[in-house]
Amino acid sequence: MKIGLLYFDGCPSYQQALQNLEEVIAEEGLGVTVELVRVNSADEARARGFLGSPTIQISGIDLEGPIAAGSGIGLGCRVYAYKGRLSAWPSKEQIRTALSRWRPAPTSSAADHQTI
């Protein structure tokens, strides 16, 4: 799993998004690092699928899923909606939910399949 946090210089929200993301990664014991990606131009925003700052992508897919792409690409601030509230960064619950979609299913061992 590859995780990127995309932002633009001067974004007041990306550091809180990064903190939430790193806390969830640690709490879940995922052992992955976050790549910080500064987006500098509209062309770069289009090329990276940057939906505003901050944007978290997991294996190249936006935290909110492919449907989020309809919200527009560009060098603006991003707003996240969760449980009827708006925020300038994703909640830890939103991040946890997104990461859980990428976590591999537990493997079963031979002991799990003993025949009686």
Judge whether 112 lies within some domain. Answer: no
Judge whether 108 lies within some domain. Answer: no
Residue 74: the pLDDT is 87
Give pLDDT tens digits for 5-61.
999 999 999 999 999 999 999 999 999 999 999 999 999 999 999 999 999 999 999
**Amino acid at position 70, single letter:** G
Judge whether 92 lies within some domain. Answer: yes
Task: Band the pLDDT of 116: cuts 50, 70, 90.
Answer: very low
Judge whether 111 lies within some domain. Answer: no
**Number of domains into which the chain is organized:** 1
Q: Contacts for 61-64 with beta carbons within 8 Å, 24 or more apart?
A: 63/90, 63/94, 63/95, 63/98, 64/94, 64/98
Model-level pTM?
Answer: 0.84
Judge whether 109 lies within some domain. Answer: no
Domain holding 82, by residue range, is: 3-103
Task: Band the pLDDT of 105: cuts 50, 70, 90.
Answer: low
Give the CATH number, domain containing residue 88: 3.40.30
